[in-house]
Amino acid sequence: MTEPVVRQVAFGLIVNPTSARGGGAKVGAEVLALLQAAAVNVVNLSGVSSHDAIASAKAAIASASIDALIVVGGDGTAQLGVNLCADTKLPLGVVSAGTGNDTARALATHDMALPELVAKFIKSASNPRSVDVMKCVGHGETFWSFGSISAGFDALCNARANRMSWPKGPSRYQLAMLAELAAFKPIRYRAVIDGQVRNFEAMLCVAANAQSFGGGMLIVPHAKVDDGFFDLLILHKISRPELLKVFPKVYKGNHVTHPAVEFVRCQELHLEAVSEVHGAMPCFADGEAKGHSPLKITLHAGALKVLG
């Protein structure tokens, strides 16, 4: 009697070679070599652009030719992986090779040595962990976010920093913050939080499933990625000098005791944000520009399977 053929577990791999000023290519090559050395099947889905990688990955998922997906890059690449794997049975592994790496940080894979991390990915492929993820319907698009979605002062700083070619690194965000502060005025928000309507003026609102954004800024230090809720952080209206004092405290999570800071645990949020200076506020999800408000954010408990 002929023995049934058992298909070898296959890992899809997407590498962003441009992350970390080209460091992503080196990390990706090492991940590929470690997977091959472990004698697992690897399907390289990387393309010349993110659009190519997405198309290749969607085809592989549709044909069930991969059993897990590993992405190598920064938070933008991690978000690409989240949007491919959320609400499917395909588990995702995130290897940090960017400047922010908040997704990998939240999944406790950021500081692991690559041989240990790849071995853990392989071992957990048959029994991945379930984590929560947010689904957002925004201006003209629907997407998934694992970490955070913001529409406030921080989003303006992020947008300005992305337009700046100099300097490199964290100092660019700090200079963008100072530049935005000069003309910044409180934002008018209308929020429907789990069915309850609230209208208020604030400096920022962030829907956070994970603890950090912006490269380790502890925006919601108590957040958990598997508790069935996300946290809405509201920094209520304060003066510009006070904002300049409070905002840097986010780097260590020391802002949480400020009287203008409020946290609301929720599962669904409708958010409209309008600025006297900017009009409808820009939105950023996991560091990526995602149109502008209004937004509808819904928490999907356990909808993302992850390796590690």
**H or E element, residue 305:** strand 295-306
Question: Three-class SS of residue 272?
Answer: strand
Q: Looking at 52-195, which runs of residues are DSSP E strands?
A: 68-73, 92-96, 129-137, 142-145, 148-150, 187-193
- Give the CATH number of domain 10-127; options: 2.40.10.340, 3.30.420.40, 3.40.50.10330, 3.40.50.300: 3.40.50.10330
Question: Three-class SS of residue 203?
Answer: strand
Q: Is the pLDDT of residue 223 over 60?
A: yes
Closest CA to 304 of 142, 122, 134: 134
Average pLDDT, the chain: 92
Identify whether the C-beta of residue 299 lies closer than 8 Å to the C-beta of residue 268: yes
Supply the DSSP symbol for 6. Answer: P
The answer to whether domain 137-302 has CATH 2.60.200.40 is yes
pLDDT value for 7: 55
Separation of alpha carbons 166 and 162, rounded Å: 10
Supply the DSSP symbol for 18. Answer: T
Q: Where does CATH 3.40.50.10330 sit in the chain?
A: 10-127
More confident residue, 139 or 126: 126
User: Per-residue pLDDT tens for 227-256?
Assistant: 999 999 999 999 999 988 998 899 899 999
Q: Where does CATH 2.60.200.40 sit in the chain?
A: 137-302
Has this prediction a pTM greater than 0.85? yes
Binned at pLDDT 50, 70 and 90, residue 181 comes out as confident
Closest CA to 205 of 145, 136, 283: 283
Mean pLDDT in residue range 14-18:
93
Residue 142: phi and psi, rounded to 5, are -120, 135
